[in-house]
Amino acid sequence: MQKVKLEITGIAYSQTQSGSYVLTLLEVAGKRKLPIVIGGFEAQAIAVELEKMVPSRPLTHDLFKSFCKSFGVTVKEILIYKFHEGVFYSKLICERDGQLTEIDSRTSDAIAIGVRFNAPIFTLGQILDEVGGAENDSTDSFDFDDDDDQVSATTTDGNEWKDVSSEDLSQQLIEAIDNEDYELASKIRDEINRRS
């Protein structure tokens, strides 16, 4: 089976599913993308690492990385290997002393851990053929529950910060991180990035 490398292109608050986010993965050498609905905690964990935010206490995924490093385990890659009934199935490919081990994981957790190891993300060509829309396509053809990292429809037209200055947004971002409100921090970060 042909593996296809993906990159994270965005995390956006879902306007259709309260408390959920859409993680968008784009194939590196193409235009197909996978929109995956994830929970707020996992979205925060991914955003914190991508934005190089430093929480005052380690998040669960940071703890997992520290545990792995303590025992000489490295996460080599993330593989999204199956899509069934709206659910993505993933695994961590880990290495210790030259031995590879595959560990089943929810896609959101696998990616939150993978970004901490700078591990590449892959999927299979058949999954992109089945689910992957073009980069400029809308993602409004899917709508599932977010408990198991599922495909979703979202639109991000609403903007609750349209009247807030960029300087005020930067201050609110610092305050959200200080208060360990990473969900709010990721929303503010998205708005700052949108304006850039």
| Beta pairing, strands 20-27 & 3-13 | antiparallel
Residue 157 has pLDDT above 60, yes or no: no
Question: Is the pLDDT confidence value at 156 over 50?
Answer: no
Q: Which of 5-19, 42-56, 68-82, 164-178 has the lowest mean pLDDT?
A: 164-178
Average pLDDT over all residues of the chain = 81
- Are 87 and 125 in a shared domain? yes
Please indicate, yes or no, whether residues 168 and 130 belong to a single structural domain of this protein: no
Is the domain of 90 the same as that of 144?
Answer: yes
Same domain, 51 and 93: yes
* Average pLDDT score over residue span 167-182: 76
Same-domain check for residues 81 and 15: yes
Q: Residue 181 pLDDT > 50, yes or no?
A: yes
- Categorize the per-residue pLDDT at 119 as very low, low, confident or very high, splitting at 50, 70 and 90: very high
pLDDT, tens digit, for every residue of 34-61?
A: 889 898 889 889 988 988 888 888 889 9
> Strand 74-84 vs strand 121-124: parallel, antiparallel, or unpaired?
parallel
| pLDDT given for residue 146 in this prediction | 40
What are 121's strand-pairing partners? Answer: 6, 78
Q: Which domain holds residue 192?
A: 159-196
Q: Are residues 20 and 31 in the same domain?
A: yes
Same domain, 65 and 90: yes
Q: Determine contact, residues 75/94, Cβ cutoff 8 Å.
A: yes
What total of structural domains would you count in the chain?
2
User: Which of 9, 8, 18 shows the shortest CA–CA distance to 154?
Assistant: 18
pLDDT at 154: 35
Q: Do 121 and 99 reside in the same domain of the chain?
A: yes
Supply the pLDDT for residue 12. Answer: 85
| Residues 65 and 17 both lie in one domain | yes
Q: Which of 132, 102, 113, 121 is nearest to 5 (CA)?
A: 121
Looking at the structure, do residues 41 and 102 belong to the same domain, yes or no?
A: yes
105 with 152, same domain: the answer is yes
CATH of the domain at 120: 3.10.690.10
pLDDT value for 189: 78
Instruction: Please report the pLDDT score of residue 167 as a whole number.
Output: 80
Same structural domain, 45 and 142: yes
pLDDT value at residue 144: 34
Percent of residues, the chain, with pLDDT higher than 90: 39
